[in-house]
A and B are shown apart, each in its own frame.
Chain A
Protein backbone atom coordinates (compact mmCIF):
# COMPACT_ATOMS: atom_id res chain seq x y z
CA UNK A 1 0.00 0.00 0.00
CA UNK A 2 1.20 3.47 -0.84
CA UNK A 3 2.04 5.82 2.03
CA UNK A 4 -0.37 8.41 0.57
CA UNK A 5 -3.36 6.20 1.26
CA UNK A 6 -2.22 4.99 4.64
CA UNK A 7 -4.85 5.45 7.35
CA UNK A 8 -3.15 3.62 10.20
CA UNK A 9 -3.09 6.06 13.12
CA UNK A 10 0.30 4.88 14.36
CA UNK A 11 1.88 5.35 10.93
CA UNK A 12 0.29 8.78 10.60
CA UNK A 13 1.50 9.75 14.06
CA UNK A 14 5.04 8.65 13.28
CA UNK A 15 4.96 10.52 9.97
CA UNK A 16 3.80 13.74 11.64
CA UNK A 17 6.42 13.33 14.36
CA UNK A 18 9.12 12.89 11.72
CA UNK A 19 7.97 16.00 9.85
CA UNK A 20 7.98 18.00 13.09
CA UNK A 21 11.42 16.65 13.97
CA UNK A 22 12.75 17.64 10.57
CA UNK A 23 11.24 21.08 10.92
CA UNK A 24 12.73 21.43 14.43
CA UNK A 25 16.14 20.46 13.03
CA UNK A 26 15.96 23.05 10.28
CA UNK A 27 14.89 25.70 12.79
CA UNK A 28 17.64 24.72 15.21
CA UNK A 29 20.30 25.06 12.52
CA UNK A 30 18.98 28.38 11.24
CA UNK A 31 18.49 29.75 14.74
CA UNK A 32 22.02 28.74 15.66
CA UNK A 33 23.48 30.36 12.56
CA UNK A 34 21.56 33.59 12.98
CA UNK A 35 21.71 34.13 16.74
CA UNK A 36 25.04 35.97 16.60
CA UNK A 37 24.09 38.32 13.73
CA UNK A 38 20.70 38.96 15.37
CA UNK A 39 22.42 39.94 18.61
CA UNK A 40 24.82 42.22 16.76
CA UNK A 41 21.98 43.86 14.88
CA UNK A 42 20.07 44.38 18.14
CA UNK A 43 23.14 45.95 19.78
CA UNK A 44 23.68 48.25 16.82
CA UNK A 45 20.04 49.34 16.99
CA UNK A 46 20.34 49.98 20.72
CA UNK A 47 23.51 52.00 20.33
CA UNK A 48 21.88 54.12 17.61
CA UNK A 49 18.84 54.68 19.84
CA UNK A 50 21.00 55.77 22.78
CA UNK A 51 22.87 58.25 20.61
CA UNK A 52 19.52 59.74 19.58
CA UNK A 53 18.06 60.31 23.03
CA UNK A 54 21.15 61.37 24.98
CA UNK A 55 23.51 64.31 24.59
CA UNK A 56 26.97 63.46 23.33
CA UNK A 57 28.71 61.03 25.69
CA UNK A 58 31.99 59.15 25.66
CA UNK A 59 31.79 56.44 28.36
CA UNK A 60 30.85 52.80 27.96
CA UNK A 61 27.22 53.26 28.90
CA UNK A 62 26.59 49.52 29.28
CA UNK A 63 29.32 49.14 31.91
CA UNK A 64 26.92 49.60 34.82
CA UNK A 65 23.17 49.54 35.24
CA UNK A 66 20.96 49.94 38.31
CA UNK A 67 17.31 49.05 38.60
CA UNK A 68 14.80 51.43 40.12
CA UNK A 69 11.42 50.36 41.38
CA UNK A 70 8.64 52.50 39.95
CA UNK A 71 5.37 53.30 41.78
CA UNK A 72 3.59 50.60 39.74
CA UNK A 73 6.26 48.09 40.68
CA UNK A 74 8.11 47.95 37.37
CA UNK A 75 11.86 47.49 37.30
CA UNK A 76 13.32 50.41 35.41
CA UNK A 77 16.82 49.98 34.12
CA UNK A 78 19.03 53.05 34.46
CA UNK A 79 22.42 53.62 32.87
CA UNK A 80 24.52 56.76 33.10
CA UNK A 81 26.02 58.66 30.18
CA UNK A 82 29.12 60.69 30.91
CA UNK A 83 31.27 63.10 29.02
CA UNK A 84 34.64 63.06 30.70
CA UNK A 85 33.76 62.70 34.39
CA UNK A 86 30.53 64.64 34.25
CA UNK A 87 27.18 62.89 34.03
CA UNK A 88 25.30 64.36 31.08
CA UNK A 89 22.21 62.20 31.30
CA UNK A 90 20.71 58.82 32.06
CA UNK A 91 19.17 56.22 29.81
CA UNK A 92 16.06 54.71 31.38
CA UNK A 93 14.36 51.65 29.97
CA UNK A 94 10.79 50.90 31.00
CA UNK A 95 8.75 47.92 29.87
CA UNK A 96 5.03 48.60 30.02
CA UNK A 97 3.08 45.32 30.08
CA UNK A 98 -0.24 46.91 29.12
CA UNK A 99 0.01 48.10 25.56
CA UNK A 100 -2.85 47.35 23.20
CA UNK A 101 -1.12 44.20 22.00
CA UNK A 102 1.52 43.18 24.51
CA UNK A 103 4.40 45.12 25.93
CA UNK A 104 5.59 48.57 24.98
CA UNK A 105 9.28 49.17 25.58
CA UNK A 106 10.23 52.77 26.14
CA UNK A 107 13.78 54.10 26.17
CA UNK A 108 14.04 57.57 27.63
CA UNK A 109 16.94 59.95 27.87
CA UNK A 110 16.69 61.55 31.31
CA UNK A 111 18.34 64.85 32.16
CA UNK A 112 20.56 64.97 35.28
CA UNK A 113 17.73 66.89 37.01
CA UNK A 114 15.35 63.96 36.52
CA UNK A 115 13.19 65.37 33.72
CA UNK A 116 12.80 63.61 30.40
CA UNK A 117 15.04 64.72 27.56
CA UNK A 118 13.71 62.55 24.75
CA UNK A 119 11.69 59.37 24.39
CA UNK A 120 11.91 56.53 21.93
CA UNK A 121 9.61 53.54 21.76
CA UNK A 122 12.01 50.74 20.94
CA UNK A 123 9.64 47.81 20.84
CA UNK A 124 5.87 47.65 20.44
CA UNK A 125 3.19 45.54 18.82
CA UNK A 126 0.45 48.17 18.56
CA UNK A 127 -2.04 48.34 15.70
CA UNK A 128 -0.31 49.39 12.49
CA UNK A 129 -1.66 52.74 11.35
CA UNK A 130 -3.22 53.61 14.70
CA UNK A 131 -1.32 52.86 17.90
CA UNK A 132 1.91 52.19 16.08
CA UNK A 133 1.83 55.68 14.59
CA UNK A 134 2.05 57.21 18.07
CA UNK A 135 5.27 55.31 18.72
CA UNK A 136 6.93 56.22 15.44
CA UNK A 137 9.39 58.96 14.84
CA UNK A 138 9.51 59.90 11.21
CA UNK A 139 9.94 63.12 9.33
CA UNK A 140 6.72 63.94 7.54
CA UNK A 141 7.26 64.15 3.83
CA UNK A 142 5.08 66.07 1.42
CA UNK A 143 5.29 66.34 -2.33
CA UNK A 144 6.92 69.72 -1.83
CA UNK A 145 9.90 68.61 0.27
CA UNK A 146 10.29 65.14 -1.23
CA UNK A 147 13.66 65.88 -2.79
CA UNK A 148 15.07 67.84 0.14
CA UNK A 149 17.51 66.02 2.42
CA UNK A 150 16.14 64.66 5.70
CA UNK A 151 17.00 67.05 8.54
CA UNK A 152 19.45 65.72 11.13
CA UNK A 153 18.41 64.85 14.67
CA UNK A 154 15.39 63.18 16.19
CA UNK A 155 12.18 63.45 14.15
CA UNK A 156 9.41 65.10 16.19
CA UNK A 157 6.39 63.22 17.54
CA UNK A 158 3.91 65.24 19.56
CA UNK A 159 2.76 62.27 21.61
CA UNK A 160 6.28 61.35 22.68
CA UNK A 161 7.69 64.87 22.94
CA UNK A 162 4.98 66.25 25.21
CA UNK A 163 6.75 65.12 28.40
CA UNK A 164 10.15 66.59 27.56
CA UNK A 165 11.58 68.78 30.31
CA UNK A 166 8.29 68.83 32.21
CA UNK A 167 7.72 68.23 35.90
CA UNK A 168 5.35 65.32 36.38
CA UNK A 169 2.26 65.60 38.62
CA UNK A 170 2.53 63.63 41.88
CA UNK A 171 0.68 60.63 40.45
CA UNK A 172 2.15 60.92 36.98
CA UNK A 173 0.62 62.01 33.70
CA UNK A 174 -2.74 60.75 32.56
CA UNK A 175 -4.40 61.43 29.21
CA UNK A 176 -7.03 64.15 28.90
CA UNK A 177 -9.74 61.53 28.34
CA UNK A 178 -9.03 60.25 31.86
CA UNK A 179 -8.98 63.78 33.28
CA UNK A 180 -5.26 64.42 32.95
CA UNK A 181 -3.17 66.68 30.76
CA UNK A 182 -1.47 64.35 28.31
CA UNK A 183 -2.44 64.31 24.64
CA UNK A 184 -4.10 61.20 23.29
CA UNK A 185 -5.15 59.98 19.87
CA UNK A 186 -8.69 58.88 19.09
CA UNK A 187 -8.68 55.23 18.10
CA UNK A 188 -5.48 54.59 20.00
CA UNK A 189 -6.51 55.36 23.56
CA UNK A 190 -4.84 52.30 25.05
CA UNK A 191 -1.55 53.09 23.35
CA UNK A 192 -1.79 56.73 24.44
CA UNK A 193 -2.37 55.58 28.01
CA UNK A 194 0.60 53.22 27.80
CA UNK A 195 2.89 56.02 26.61
CA UNK A 196 1.77 58.46 29.32
CA UNK A 197 2.06 55.74 31.95
CA UNK A 198 5.57 54.70 30.88
CA UNK A 199 6.81 58.29 30.84
CA UNK A 200 5.27 58.87 34.29
CA UNK A 201 6.75 55.73 35.77
CA UNK A 202 10.23 56.72 34.57
CA UNK A 203 10.03 60.23 35.98
CA UNK A 204 8.47 59.10 39.26
CA UNK A 205 10.99 56.29 39.66
CA UNK A 206 13.76 58.87 39.31
CA UNK A 207 12.09 61.10 41.88
CA UNK A 208 11.86 58.23 44.35
CA UNK A 209 15.14 56.55 43.51
CA UNK A 210 17.34 59.63 43.37
CA UNK A 211 19.50 58.28 46.22
CA UNK A 212 19.99 54.91 44.57
CA UNK A 213 21.02 56.61 41.35
CA UNK A 214 23.43 58.95 43.08
CA UNK A 215 24.94 56.10 45.07
CA UNK A 216 25.41 53.98 41.99
CA UNK A 217 26.83 56.58 39.67
CA UNK A 218 28.32 59.04 42.20
CA UNK A 219 26.03 61.53 40.64
CA UNK A 220 24.45 64.86 40.82
CA UNK A 221 22.88 66.79 43.67
Chain B
Protein backbone atom coordinates (compact mmCIF):
# COMPACT_ATOMS: atom_id res chain seq x y z
CA UNK B 1 0.00 0.00 0.00
CA UNK B 2 2.78 2.39 0.91
CA UNK B 3 4.53 1.61 -2.33
CA UNK B 4 1.38 2.36 -4.33
CA UNK B 5 1.00 5.72 -2.63
CA UNK B 6 4.67 6.51 -3.12
CA UNK B 7 4.49 5.66 -6.82
CA UNK B 8 1.55 7.99 -7.20
CA UNK B 9 2.92 10.87 -5.16
CA UNK B 10 6.48 11.04 -6.46
CA UNK B 11 5.38 12.64 -9.73
CA UNK B 12 3.86 15.61 -7.96
CA UNK B 13 6.93 16.98 -6.22
CA UNK B 14 9.82 14.58 -5.63
CA UNK B 15 10.20 13.55 -9.27
CA UNK B 16 8.06 16.24 -10.86
CA UNK B 17 8.41 15.68 -14.62
CA UNK B 18 8.91 19.34 -15.51
CA UNK B 19 10.84 20.65 -12.54
CA UNK B 20 13.03 17.66 -11.69
CA UNK B 21 13.16 15.29 -14.63
CA UNK B 22 13.02 18.24 -17.08
CA UNK B 23 10.89 16.18 -19.44
CA UNK B 24 8.28 17.63 -21.77
CA UNK B 25 9.93 21.03 -21.93
CA UNK B 26 8.55 21.64 -25.43
CA UNK B 27 4.85 21.71 -24.48
CA UNK B 28 5.81 23.36 -21.21
CA UNK B 29 7.30 26.34 -22.99
CA UNK B 30 5.01 26.46 -25.98
CA UNK B 31 1.60 25.89 -24.48
CA UNK B 32 1.55 27.53 -21.08
CA UNK B 33 0.62 30.94 -22.43
CA UNK B 34 -2.52 30.84 -20.32
CA UNK B 35 -3.68 28.89 -17.31
CA UNK B 36 -6.47 27.25 -19.30
CA UNK B 37 -4.06 26.06 -21.98
CA UNK B 38 -1.69 24.69 -19.35
CA UNK B 39 -4.42 22.80 -17.55
CA UNK B 40 -5.82 21.50 -20.85
CA UNK B 41 -2.49 20.18 -22.06
CA UNK B 42 -1.81 18.68 -18.64
CA UNK B 43 -5.11 16.82 -18.48
CA UNK B 44 -4.86 15.53 -22.05
CA UNK B 45 -1.34 14.29 -21.38
CA UNK B 46 -2.37 12.66 -18.11
CA UNK B 47 -5.01 10.67 -19.93
CA UNK B 48 -2.67 9.47 -22.66
CA UNK B 49 0.18 8.83 -20.22
CA UNK B 50 -1.96 6.66 -17.98
CA UNK B 51 -3.33 4.69 -20.91
CA UNK B 52 -0.01 4.19 -22.66
CA UNK B 53 1.71 3.27 -19.38
CA UNK B 54 -0.90 0.57 -18.82
CA UNK B 55 -0.70 -0.89 -22.35
CA UNK B 56 3.09 -0.79 -22.40
CA UNK B 57 3.51 -2.44 -19.03
CA UNK B 58 1.19 -5.20 -20.27
CA UNK B 59 3.13 -5.85 -23.49
CA UNK B 60 6.65 -5.07 -22.25
CA UNK B 61 7.36 -8.75 -21.56
CA UNK B 62 6.95 -9.84 -25.18
CA UNK B 63 8.48 -6.87 -27.02
CA UNK B 64 11.99 -7.58 -28.35
CA UNK B 65 14.42 -5.21 -26.62
CA UNK B 66 15.96 -4.02 -29.85
CA UNK B 67 12.75 -2.53 -31.22
CA UNK B 68 11.03 -1.53 -28.00
CA UNK B 69 11.18 2.22 -28.72
CA UNK B 70 9.43 2.07 -32.12
CA UNK B 71 6.82 -0.27 -30.66
CA UNK B 72 6.18 2.11 -27.75
CA UNK B 73 5.87 5.03 -30.14
CA UNK B 74 3.32 3.13 -32.23
CA UNK B 75 1.33 2.35 -29.09
CA UNK B 76 1.44 5.96 -27.92
CA UNK B 77 0.55 7.36 -31.34
CA UNK B 78 -2.36 4.96 -31.65
CA UNK B 79 -3.57 5.98 -28.22
CA UNK B 80 -3.34 9.67 -29.04
CA UNK B 81 -5.21 9.26 -32.32
CA UNK B 82 -7.97 7.29 -30.62
CA UNK B 83 -8.31 9.98 -27.95
CA UNK B 84 -8.37 12.65 -30.65
CA UNK B 85 -11.12 10.89 -32.60
CA UNK B 86 -13.21 10.18 -29.50
CA UNK B 87 -12.94 13.79 -28.34
CA UNK B 88 -13.92 15.07 -31.77
CA UNK B 89 -16.94 12.81 -31.86
CA UNK B 90 -18.31 12.94 -28.34
CA UNK B 91 -16.79 15.84 -26.40
CA UNK B 92 -18.73 19.12 -26.16
CA UNK B 93 -17.64 21.55 -28.89
CA UNK B 94 -16.13 24.00 -26.42
CA UNK B 95 -13.95 21.32 -24.80
CA UNK B 96 -12.65 20.09 -28.13
CA UNK B 97 -12.01 23.65 -29.24
CA UNK B 98 -9.89 24.15 -26.14
CA UNK B 99 -8.05 20.82 -26.12
CA UNK B 100 -8.04 19.84 -29.78
CA UNK B 101 -4.82 21.61 -30.74
CA UNK B 102 -2.83 19.90 -27.97
CA UNK B 103 -3.81 16.32 -28.66
CA UNK B 104 -1.50 15.61 -31.63
CA UNK B 105 1.36 17.24 -29.74
CA UNK B 106 1.21 14.62 -27.02
CA UNK B 107 2.82 12.05 -29.31
CA UNK B 108 6.03 14.04 -29.29
CA UNK B 109 5.84 14.82 -25.59
CA UNK B 110 8.83 12.98 -24.17
CA UNK B 111 7.19 12.49 -20.77
CA UNK B 112 5.03 9.80 -22.31
CA UNK B 113 7.89 7.92 -23.95
CA UNK B 114 10.15 8.65 -20.98
CA UNK B 115 7.79 7.03 -18.49
CA UNK B 116 7.14 4.13 -20.85
CA UNK B 117 10.85 3.37 -21.03
CA UNK B 118 11.88 4.27 -17.49
CA UNK B 119 8.91 2.95 -15.55
CA UNK B 120 6.11 1.13 -17.34
CA UNK B 121 8.37 -1.37 -19.10
CA UNK B 122 9.80 -2.49 -15.75
CA UNK B 123 6.76 -2.47 -13.47
CA UNK B 124 3.37 -4.14 -13.26
CA UNK B 125 0.25 -2.58 -14.82
CA UNK B 126 -1.21 -1.30 -11.54
CA UNK B 127 1.95 0.54 -10.55
CA UNK B 128 2.29 1.85 -14.11
CA UNK B 129 -1.21 3.32 -14.04
CA UNK B 130 -0.46 5.01 -10.72
CA UNK B 131 2.83 6.32 -12.08
CA UNK B 132 1.01 7.70 -15.13
CA UNK B 133 -1.63 9.38 -12.97
CA UNK B 134 0.94 10.84 -10.58
CA UNK B 135 3.28 12.08 -13.28
CA UNK B 136 0.31 13.46 -15.20
CA UNK B 137 -0.97 15.26 -12.13
CA UNK B 138 2.47 16.73 -11.45
CA UNK B 139 2.69 17.83 -15.08
CA UNK B 140 -0.80 19.33 -14.98
CA UNK B 141 -0.18 21.22 -11.74
CA UNK B 142 3.15 22.59 -12.96
CA UNK B 143 1.77 23.63 -16.33
CA UNK B 144 -1.27 25.25 -14.75
CA UNK B 145 0.91 27.15 -12.29
CA UNK B 146 3.25 28.26 -15.07
CA UNK B 147 0.26 29.22 -17.21
CA UNK B 148 -1.19 31.29 -14.39
CA UNK B 149 2.10 33.12 -13.84
CA UNK B 150 2.61 33.78 -17.54
CA UNK B 151 -0.97 34.79 -18.18
CA UNK B 152 -0.95 37.13 -15.21
CA UNK B 153 2.36 38.71 -16.21
CA UNK B 154 1.13 39.13 -19.79
CA UNK B 155 -2.32 40.57 -19.33
CA UNK B 156 -3.18 40.68 -15.65
CA UNK B 157 -5.64 37.84 -16.03
CA UNK B 158 -5.86 34.30 -14.70
CA UNK B 159 -7.97 31.63 -16.42
CA UNK B 160 -9.18 34.32 -18.80
CA UNK B 161 -10.54 36.43 -15.94
CA UNK B 162 -8.98 39.88 -15.67
CA UNK B 163 -7.76 40.49 -12.13
CA UNK B 164 -6.35 43.93 -12.87
CA UNK B 165 -8.89 45.63 -15.11
CA UNK B 166 -6.71 48.65 -15.80
CA UNK B 167 -4.18 46.39 -17.57
CA UNK B 168 -5.14 46.93 -21.20
CA UNK B 169 -1.95 46.49 -23.21
CA UNK B 170 -0.40 43.05 -23.13
CA UNK B 171 3.19 42.72 -21.96
CA UNK B 172 4.62 40.30 -24.49
CA UNK B 173 7.77 38.86 -22.90
CA UNK B 174 6.19 36.43 -20.41
CA UNK B 175 3.85 35.22 -23.12
CA UNK B 176 6.66 34.32 -25.49
CA UNK B 177 8.95 31.28 -25.42
CA UNK B 178 11.99 33.21 -24.11
CA UNK B 179 9.85 34.54 -21.27
CA UNK B 180 8.76 30.99 -20.50
CA UNK B 181 12.42 29.94 -20.34
CA UNK B 182 13.18 32.69 -17.86
CA UNK B 183 10.18 31.87 -15.66
CA UNK B 184 10.91 28.12 -15.71
CA UNK B 185 14.54 28.93 -14.83
CA UNK B 186 13.47 31.03 -11.85
CA UNK B 187 11.12 28.31 -10.63
CA UNK B 188 13.87 25.68 -10.98
CA UNK B 189 16.29 27.88 -9.07
CA UNK B 190 13.79 28.46 -6.27
CA UNK B 191 13.04 24.74 -6.07
CA UNK B 192 16.74 23.84 -5.91
CA UNK B 193 17.36 26.57 -3.36
CA UNK B 194 14.61 25.21 -1.11
CA UNK B 195 15.93 21.66 -1.47
CA UNK B 196 19.49 22.76 -0.75
CA UNK B 197 18.47 24.73 2.32
CA UNK B 198 16.38 21.85 3.66
CA UNK B 199 19.31 19.48 3.13
CA UNK B 200 21.77 21.80 4.89
CA UNK B 201 19.38 22.26 7.81
CA UNK B 202 19.07 18.50 8.15
CA UNK B 203 22.85 18.29 8.17
CA UNK B 204 23.09 16.38 4.88
CA UNK B 205 25.06 17.04 1.72
CA UNK B 206 22.84 18.44 -0.98
CA UNK B 207 23.05 16.62 -4.30
CA UNK B 208 21.36 18.56 -7.10
CA UNK B 209 19.51 16.60 -9.79
CA UNK B 210 21.88 15.21 -12.41
CA UNK B 211 22.66 17.74 -15.09
CA UNK B 212 21.54 20.70 -13.06
CA UNK B 213 24.50 21.03 -10.71
CA UNK B 214 27.57 23.17 -11.20
CA UNK B 215 29.71 20.31 -12.40
CA UNK B 216 27.53 19.53 -15.39
CA UNK B 217 26.89 23.07 -16.43
CA UNK B 218 29.41 24.71 -18.72
CA UNK B 219 28.34 28.32 -18.38
CA UNK B 220 30.69 29.26 -15.56
CA UNK B 221 33.73 27.42 -14.23
CA UNK B 222 32.59 27.04 -10.61
CA UNK B 223 33.10 23.51 -9.35
CA UNK B 224 35.08 22.40 -12.37
CA UNK B 225 38.36 22.09 -10.43
CA UNK B 226 37.33 19.47 -7.92
CA UNK B 227 36.24 16.97 -10.53
The chain A residues found within 8 Å of chain B, CB to CB, are 3-7, 11-12, 15-16, 19-20, 23, 26-27, 30-31, 34, 37-38, 41, 44-45, 48, 125, 128-130, 132, 138, 140-144, 146, 186-187
Contact = CB atoms under 8 A, between A and B. Distances in A.
Interface in B80-120: 81-82, 85-86, 88-90, 93, 96, 101
Given A4-B63, A132-B101, 8 more contacts: A4-B62, A16-B67, A16-B71, A23-B74, A128-B101, A129-B175, A141-B162, A143-B161
A129 B33 contact: yes
B61 interface: yes
B3 interface: no
Nearest to B63: A4
A107 B74 CA distance: 37
Contacts of A144: 165
A143 B164 CA distance: 8
A140 B162 contact: yes
Contact of B74 (A20, A30, A130, A146): A20
B33 A130 contact: yes
A6 B176 CA distance: 47
A138 B70 CA distance: 42
Given A16-B70, A30-B85, A143-B161, A44 B172 contact: no
A138 B33 contact: no
A23 B96 CA distance: 24
In this complex, the member of A5, A6, A41, A186 whose beta carbon has the largest number of chain B beta carbons within 10 angstroms is: A41
A11 B78 CA distance: 22
Contacts of A31: 85
Contacts of B216: none
Contact of A128 (B37, B160, B172): B37
Interface of B: 30-31, 33-34, 37, 61-67, 70-71, 74-75, 77-78, 81-82, 85-86, 88-90, 93, 96, 101, 154, 160-163, 165, 172, 175-176
Nearest to A138: B160
B64 A37 contact: no
B161 A27 contact: no
Chain A interface secondary structure, helix, strand, loop or mixed?
Answer: helix
Given A41-B93, A187-B172, A23 B78 contact: yes
Contacts of A130: 33, 175-176
A83 B218 CA distance: 71
A186 B172 CA distance: 8
B11 to A, nearest CB: 25
Nearest to B161: A141
14 contacts: A4-B63, A19-B74, A26-B78, A30-B86, A31-B85, A34-B89, A34-B90, A38-B85, A38-B89, A44-B93, A128-B30, A128-B37, A129-B34, A130-B175
B67 A128 contact: no
A142 B164 CA distance: 8
Contacts of A11: 64
A25 B186 CA distance: 46
A142 B165 contact: yes
A141 B70 CA distance: 46
Contact of B162 (A5, A16, A143, A187): A143
Nearest to A45: B93
Contacts of A37: 89-90
B81 A27 contact: yes
Contacts of A41: 88-89, 93, 96
Nearest to A132: B101
B80 to A, nearest CB: 11
Contacts of B37: 128-129
B161 A142 contact: yes
A3 B82 CA distance: 28
B93 A128 contact: no
Contacts of B85: 30-31, 34, 38
A125 B101 contact: yes
